[in-house]
Amino acid sequence: MALKKVKGSLERVFDKNLHDLVRGIRNHKDDEAKFIAQCIDEIKQELRQDNIAVKANAVAKLTYLQMLGYDISWAAFNVIEVMSSNKFTFKRIGYLAASQSFHEETEVLMLTTNMIRKDLSSQNQYDAAIALNGLSCFMTPDLARDLANDVMTLMTSTRPYIRKRAVLIMYKIFLKFPEALRPAFPRLKEKLEDPDPGVQSAAVNVICELARKNPKNYLSLAPVFFKLMTSSTNNWVLIKIIKLFGALTPLEPRLGKKLIEPLTNLIHSTSAMSLLYECINTVIAGMPNHNASIQLCVQKLRILIEDSDQNYEGTFQESHASDGQAQQSLVSDGSPSSQQSASMKYLGLLAMSKILKTHPKSVQAHKDLILQCLDDKDESIRLRALDLLYGMVSKKNLMEIVRKLMVHMDKAEGSMYRDELLSKIVQICSQNNYQYITNFEWYVSVLVELTRVEGTRHGSVIASQMLDVAIRVKAIRAFAVEQMAQLLENSHTVASSAQRNGICEVLYAAAWIAGEFSEHLRDPRGTLDDMLRQKVTSLPGHIQAVFVQNIMKLYAAILVKYEEDEDNDGIREVSDLLVEKLPMFVQSGDLEVQERACCILQLMKYVKKLQDKDVSCADEVAALFAGELNPVAPKAQRKVAVPEGLDLDKWINDPPSDSSDDEGPANSLFIPDDSRMMNESMTRPVVEELSDDELERRREARRAETQNNPHYLKLGASAKGSKYQEVVNVEDIPVANIDLSVPLYVPGTKRLSDKYLEAERQARKRDKKRRHGKKSKRRHKSESEEDVPVVHKVDIMGGEMPEGATESGDEGNLELDDNDPHKLLDIDLDRPLDADEKLPVRTHRIVSPSSEDRPVEEKKKHHRKDKEKEKKRKEKEKKKSKKEKKRNKSGDDSAHPSLLIATELMSPGHEAIPSPGEEEEVAPPSALVKKDTTPKKEEPKDDLDFWLSGQDAPVAVEVTAPEPGAAADVDSDAEDTSRHKKKKEKKAKKEKKEKKEKKEKKKKSKVADDEDVDSGRRDGFEELDSDGPPPPPMSSYRLLAEDSNIKMTYETRVQSQQGQQLIVSVIFTSLAEQHLKSLEFNVMDSLNTKMDRLPGATTHDGVPVPFQLPPNSFNEGQFAFQVQSINVAQKLRGTLTYTIKTEESSTSEKLDFKLYLPCTAFLIATPCSSDAFARLLQGGELSSKYSIKLSSGGAPFSHVLAKVCFYGHFAIVEQIDQSASLYSCSTQGHHICLLVKANGGGDVSIDGKCADGSLLSNVMEEIKVTAS
């Protein structure tokens, strides 16, 4: 054994360690791959040895190789061996290798569960810490499920070193095993008040990360975080908390008011710019209407942006990585202070852009600062300043801002930034349908000036703006056509950039505008000559195609003019010109250009033949292009209805066969294969190898060309072969005359658009003097946007849509991605834990002996224990029943109406509510009140409301509950209150008896309705108190449509047995003096609602009404509809066609109508006992809530309640004084519970609960309309 140890030690001496591996890789740069392959072979030999130290050394080397990109998954089992070592240094190497190489699909991870559990329970805190660190890197759903309970146990460790890591790793467990969130959350919440600041900071980080995607679930923690924010001195903890409040304040507006004071104190006092930025962000998000705070934020942001030379405290960028853009803006010197100041400036501009959305005037006052940022060295800051300028534009400053941007663009370096400037100028001017442009001549001049920008890739953007302005602003067309004619005249300067999306794209717009609106051209013949130049053929194909088309439009306009002037020579000359020039387009390589040119050339030849015969054909040619083209709406294509019988997924031709027998060599359609190959070889760049003689010959030719070219500067004999040492004499430079067809544009000279800016300034000065001259007692208001005169108006056209298309809203809503793990963490944390919501605990299976194998004495012992337990249970039940009886006697009536509110404080256990027709024995209603008065811990939401309200003590709504610290028994309190209220109880009993007798008399006098549906709906308001004035008359019939001949009213009926069927009963009343016959009732089907028709009928066929209407008579018809979803009210279009029969003739008439099917039409007023109603509310199934307020208008509460029951189809569960509980069930099984309560001031509040939030909100809004 000793020899074996010595041998192992000697082997370790000669083994290569990690340092040797790194040194060897550096020394073998030429054959690095070969050396590493040799090292991997040696490592494999080392892993086969039994010595754990050798294995650990091998795994350490493998870890380094994995960092270099080599796969070490083959050694996963050896890594686990090293992880299981008892020695900490080896264990650390194993966990490091596992954290780098293991992933969710590593198969051997299932072997690590017990080993990690053993390390987590180790007495050595460093073993547990290293296990937690490694586990965070290779967490899987199985490991999270199996180890969640062990990690949660470590959260209560006595050592903060372990607690902190356990809290942090819980976040990874929640992501992989979301079911652990609810059981572990109470303990995680406790860690927010941990005495150790490190553990507290870890808990804040975990909760903030959880709340980043689902903030509404953590709203109840607002009081705890508020306490932390006002007491903590750790800037990083404050940053996290304030970021969390920034996400919570939009969900709870009252929270913003609570945060104003501490946030403003932090903004005034903190020197940490990172914390200042987060405070400003939260103010912007949660308190947008608090003007004082917003002004303070803007002032601080200006200081932050201006004070760029100050050195701020370190490590700032980490907290803002979520802003989605490059936070670390690098400048030229690269020093940390300069990088930090650039980051501050960037974040200040980013925060200002957020304020700009809600308070534009506050930011517009700092326009000078934003314009200064355009000269910053950092491009990201310049781009952010451009985004700010976009929102600061108004009618007054638009021209000034655009002029400064254009001057800045002349000085800008880098084509990318210059392109961004150009696109931003276009966006600023065109935003909101050119909202801020008052003079479109100025804008067209700006667009023309932008065509001079060299190397831009936004030519298509400028072209689209030119087209849009010329089409939509009719008053500007003459000026636009004039400018486009100048562009076409100087097209050779623009056509030099022939790349796609280059500045040559503006010629596309210029040619189209000049051709489409040719009547505004001063010299159409000159423009035609410009469009027929040879240089045009070098343009891209799509531009040439537009040129060819608009050449013909120009020709038609010229032809009409010449025929009016009877200029036959001009007609022949123009026709000959086109016949001569068009063949150059026929030879184009673009198929579209070829086709258009061929067609127009043939048309010209035909026109020329007619002209030779002295036949005038100008009107016929002009008729080819008559009429204006309207723009097409952006969504027009998706709105096109698919015709019936068209299957878009069906093959047009037979699908190709899978066999390769029919496959042959694919021949080219136009060019033979040989020529195609030749062309391909010609287009490939050929690198020619030149000899020395050839190179020298080319050098001599280049020298001779330089010598003879007057544009090159030549050196004297003394300067040859040496660098410039003397200043070249300017007089010796030859002057060459350059023939420029257009004036040379020099940056900084006066632009065409500047005259409009000067004119506007002069007009503003005159207006200011005129206003200043007028004396009035009242102070003048500041100039508004309406003071700026609008020269040209924009025609806002939505674009043409296909027939039958309807406008729709925005499609799709922003939701979490299905693969996002945070989507599974959207869990209600305020709901109490259910019995099955427990973390899995690893237990041993205990096999107990059967009852036959037990000794007799043990059986007797157990039997005795069971008897004692049974006795105790019976005694408890007796005491409980006595207390309940006492409570029934002493129960105050005011506790009954609070069914909806009190159940929020009940225990989660419940029984299923029976169906409406099922009979059962239920407990008295007083049992409900007893549960309410038991000392229970209030829900977090109630704590939040109390905290936000700022009251001294929590007040439950109509529920008497003991104080939190009271130790007295609830039952004794109830007995005391019963003694003081005996007299009141006697009166209440008498009143109840009288009410019951009156109700019975009323029920006996009423005649039962034949239809079950109507009887169900009337049950709701028959239980109303008969005291007081009778309710106003109500009718369930609504007006459907009416004309001079017929009137239609309707009501809806449903049956609980048929959940998807709705019956519409229509009463047809004749108003005519003639017979009405052949009535046909038709309603257009929707995706949700379809009308039942006769067999074989289509959706366009109506349902014949089975009767005729004599004069001044009425009759009733019923129509059935099938409804899929009842969550949303339906509005269906329909038509009634009928024939009026007279003695002489008969005429057909049509009456259009809209059939409104509210959500309340699908409710049935179902009787429900108070106990069943309470259990339904208690169960937690009715998760959605909705509240409304009604104005009674002076009517008594009973009248409002009668309207709610009648129109909403609700049954009264229980009514006490000025409050009542109502219940209804939909045809599809939705339970809806309401609490109607009269408030002071003549208002009535209605609180509702339902499992379906959409149905509940729609029902409540319908009740609000009908019952008001």
> Contact at 8 Å (CB) between 1258 and 1125?
no
What six digits make up the tokens of 839? 């973390």
Rounded distance, CA 914 to CA 1225, Å? 12
81-85, 469-473, 939-943, range with the lowest pLDDT: 939-943
Residue 869 has pLDDT above 70, yes or no: no
Long-range contacts of 950-959 (CB under 8 A, 24+ apart): 956/901, 956/902, 956/905, 957/898, 957/901, 958/894, 958/895, 958/897, 958/898, 958/901, 958/902, 958/1219, 959/895, 959/898, 959/901, 959/902, 959/905, 959/932, 959/933
| pLDDT at residue 874 in the model | 63
pLDDT tens for each residue of 1035-1093: 788 899 999 889 999 999 887 777 788 899 999 999 988 888 889 999 988 888 888 88
Task: Name the residue with higher pLDDT: 770 or 72.
Answer: 72
Average pLDDT in the 431-460 region? 86
Name the band, by pLDDT with cuts 50, 70 and 90, for residue 328.
Answer: very low
| pLDDT at residue 314 in the model | 41
| pLDDT at residue 872 in the model | 62
> Contact at 8 Å (CB) between 937 and 1181?
no
What six digits make up the tokens of 689? 């190898």
Rounded distance, CA 153 to CA 166, Å? 9
pLDDT tens for each residue of 1113-1169: 888 898 999 888 888 888 889 999 999 888 777 888 889 999 988 988 888 888 888
What six digits make up the tokens of 873? 């249970």
Element (H, E) at 1134: strand 1130-1141
Task: Name the residue with higher pLDDT: 635 or 217.
Answer: 217
948 CB burial (10 A radius; 0-12, 13-18, 19+): middle
Q: In this structure, what DSSP letter does residue 1126 have?
A: -
What six digits make up the tokens of 1231? 């339970």
Q: How many helices and strands (H and E) does the chain possess?
A: 47, 15
Quickly list DSSP for 962-995: --TT--S-HHHHHHHHHHHTHHHHHHHHHHHHHH
> Among 805, 799, 800, 798, which residue's Cα sits nearest to residue 638?
805
pLDDT tens for each residue of 235-261: 888 998 888 888 888 888 788 888 888
| pLDDT at residue 92 in the model | 93
885-894, 908-917, 1139-1148, range with the lowest pLDDT: 908-917
| pLDDT at residue 814 in the model | 42
R_g over Cα of the chain: 43
Average pLDDT in the 496-500 region? 58
In the chain, % of residues over pLDDT 90: 17
765 Cβ partners below 8 Å, 6+ apart?
A: none
| pLDDT at residue 243 in the model | 87
In the chain, % of residues over pLDDT 70: 67
Name the band, by pLDDT with cuts 50, 70 and 90, for residue 127.
Answer: very high
Element (H, E) at 24: helix 18-27
> Among 623, 611, 489, 469, which residue's Cα sits nearest to residue 552?
623
CA distances (Å), 376 to each of 331, 346, 659, in order? 9, 11, 65
Maximum Cα–Cα distance for the chain, whole Å?
136
**How far, rounded to the nearest angstrom, does the alpha carbon of residue 1194 sit from its chain's CA centroid?**
45
In one-letter notation, the amino acid at residue 1159 is C
Residue 58 has pLDDT above 90, yes or no: yes
| pLDDT at residue 713 in the model | 58
Task: Name the residue with higher pLDDT: 835 or 63.
Answer: 63
| pLDDT at residue 1049 in the model | 93
Average pLDDT in the 449-477 region? 87
| pLDDT at residue 958 in the model | 37
Name the band, by pLDDT with cuts 50, 70 and 90, for residue 432.
Answer: confident
| pLDDT at residue 942 in the model | 53
Quickly list DSSP for 1210-1231: -EEEEEETTEEEEEEEETT--E
> Contact at 8 Å (CB) between 574 and 528?
yes
> Among 213, 224, 148, which residue's Cα sits nearest to residue 179?
148
What is the rounded (10 degree) CA torsion for 164, 169, 173, 178?
A: 50
Quickly list DSSP for 814-862: ----TT-GGGGG---SSSPPPTT-----------PPPTTTS-HHHHHHH
Average pLDDT in the 398-412 region? 85
169-183, 473-487, 557-571, 733-747, range with the lowest pLDDT: 733-747
In one-letter notation, the amino acid at residue 990 is K
| pLDDT at residue 339 in the model | 62
Task: Name the residue with higher pLDDT: 1017 or 645.
Answer: 645
| pLDDT at residue 689 in the model | 61
Task: Name the residue with higher pLDDT: 670 or 377.
Answer: 377
| pLDDT at residue 1178 in the model | 82
Highest mean pLDDT among 84-98, 282-296, 926-940, 1252-1266: 84-98
Backbone angles phi and psi of 914, in degrees to 5: -75, 165
| pLDDT at residue 916 in the model | 38
Angle formed at CA 915 by CA 912 and CA 919, multiple of 5 degrees = 95
Name the band, by pLDDT with cuts 50, 70 and 90, for residue 877.
Answer: low
Average pLDDT in the 946-958 region? 49
CA distances (Å), 737 to each of 13, 709, 710, 731, in order? 86, 13, 10, 16
Residue 116 has pLDDT above 90, yes or no: yes
Residues forming a β-bridge with 1186: 1248
> Among 819, 823, 818, 824, which residue's Cα sits nearest to residue 178?
824
For the chain, the average pLDDT equals: 75
CA distances (Å), 214 to each of 226, 286, 523, 1252, in order? 19, 17, 67, 21
Rounded distance, CA 470 to CA 460, Å? 15
Highest mean pLDDT among 447-461, 638-652, 849-863, 882-896: 447-461
Q: What is the DSSP pairing of strand 1075-1083 with strand 1103-1104?
A: antiparallel
1159 Cβ partners below 8 Å, 6+ apart?
A: 1126, 1127, 1128, 1129, 1255, 1258, 1259, 1262
Highest mean pLDDT among 624-628, 681-685, 876-880: 624-628
670 Cβ partners below 8 Å, 6+ apart?
A: none
Task: Name the residue with higher pLDDT: 367 or 593.
Answer: 593
> Contact at 8 Å (CB) between 1227 and 1165?
no
Residue 853 has pLDDT above 70, yes or no: no
Name the band, by pLDDT with cuts 50, 70 and 90, for residue 859.
Answer: very low
Residues forming a β-bridge with 1247: 1187, 1235
| pLDDT at residue 214 in the model | 83
| pLDDT at residue 616 in the model | 84
In one-letter notation, the amino acid at residue 519 is E
Average pLDDT in the 409-419 region? 80
Backbone angles phi and psi of 396, in degrees to 5: -75, -40
| pLDDT at residue 491 in the model | 80
> Among 3, 15, 10, which residue's Cα sits nearest to residue 56?
15
CA distances (Å), 274 to each of 235, 284, 298, 340, 948, in order? 9, 16, 16, 11, 28
In one-letter notation, the amino acid at residue 348 is G
> Contact at 8 Å (CB) between 356 and 388?
yes
Residue 431 has pLDDT above 50, yes or no: yes
Residues forming a β-bridge with 1245: 1189, 1237
902-911, 1177-1186, 1215-1224, range with the lowest pLDDT: 902-911
Average pLDDT in the 94-109 region? 90
| pLDDT at residue 987 in the model | 55
> Contact at 8 Å (CB) between 199 and 157?
no
Element (H, E) at 940: helix 940-949
| pLDDT at residue 755 in the model | 64
Task: Name the residue with higher pLDDT: 263 or 816.
Answer: 263
pLDDT tens for each residue of 998-1026: 555 444 444 334 344 444 444 444 444 44
Rounded distance, CA 781 to CA 661, Å? 86
| pLDDT at residue 1215 in the model | 86
What six digits make up the tokens of 897? 């109406």
pLDDT tens for each residue of 726-782: 444 444 555 555 444 444 444 434 556 666 666 666 666 666 666 655 544 444 444
Neighbours of 938 (CB within 10 A): 15
Residues forming a β-bridge with 1243: 1191
Rounded distance, CA 1056 to CA 1014, Å? 12
Average pLDDT in the 1232-1243 region? 84
Highest mean pLDDT among 380-384, 1025-1029, 1047-1051: 1047-1051
> Among 954, 956, 947, which residue's Cα sits nearest to residue 903?
956
Residue 848 has pLDDT above 60, yes or no: no
955 CB burial (10 A radius; 0-12, 13-18, 19+): exposed
| pLDDT at residue 12 in the model | 52
First to last CA, the chain: 97
As a residue count, the chain comes to 1268
| pLDDT at residue 864 in the model | 53
57 Cβ partners below 8 Å, 6+ apart?
A: 12, 15, 17, 18, 46
